[in-house]
Amino acid sequence: MADNYIIDAQARTITGKKVSQLRNSGLVPAVVYGASVQPVHVQIAYRPLEVALMKAGGTSLITLNVGDSTHTVITRDVQRDILRGKITHVDFLAVSATTLIKTEVPVHFINESPAIALRLGVLTAVSPSIEIEALSGDLIDHVDVDLSSLKLAGDSIHVRDLNLGDKLNIITDPDTVIVRVTPFSLETDDTTTTETTSVEPEVIQKGKIEEEE
């Protein structure tokens, strides 16, 4: 299960083009929306927000405190300044214990492939993330893929080989290759080869409320 993080926010009355005043004051405009809540406009101090988003990604639950109210949310969209990369706006999706969420989670490689240890080929990471569906409280922030089953050149691990338990539904095609051992003579340029043990793609974030900036 993914961790839960806490962010303190304030109710926001400034909207539209005037939100630039907030950013100049070190605040980030954000909005909370969901099927059972009216949109809530908030403002959050930049640095605590940045740290929380780096840790939570798009799969961990966040407790958003707004005055006397508390919202359980996940991050759905983060807008950034094109040139400086600074956060300019965040969309949060309000969730409950019964909310089903589809999201992509990164793949983490664990243990060592015997084929790689014997230098029978190179490790080729084909799919650095998979799409899953789960209740909000059962979301995970990554999937561990054990490389110890890759014993020969040409061996591969498919999505169908993963066992994530009964609480998670894998959306990605079961025949999708996650990682394989590519023989040296068959290396191509259309895949990524690596001998490291982790792949960290960005979580794909879906859903967005447009706000005039």
- Give per-residue pLDDT as tens, 121-171: 999 999 999 999 999 888 888 999 999 999 999 999 999 999 999 999 999
pLDDT for residue 1: 57
Amino acid at position 138, single letter: D
Find out whether 29 and 22 touch, Cβ atoms under 8 Å.
yes
pLDDT for residue 195: 46
pLDDT for residue 193: 52
pLDDT for residue 18: 84
Find out whether 124 and 180 touch, Cβ atoms under 8 Å.
yes
Cα separation, 202 vs 159, whole angstroms: 19
Main-chain dihedrals φ then ψ at residue 64, nearest 5 degrees: -105, 110
Query: Alpha helix locations (H) across the chain?
Result: 20-24, 46-56, 114-117
Could you report the per-residue pLDDT of 96-131, keeping only the tens digit for each?
A: 888 888 889 999 999 999 999 999 999 999 999 999
Bridge partners for 37 per DSSP? 34
Find out whether 43 and 22 touch, Cβ atoms under 8 Å.
yes
Cα separation, 78 vs 75, whole angstroms: 8
- Strands 61-66 and 4-11, how do they pair? parallel
Find out whether 177 and 158 touch, Cβ atoms under 8 Å.
yes
pLDDT for residue 212: 46
What are the structural domains of the chain?
Answer: 4-96 (2.40.240.10), 101-194 (2.170.120.20)
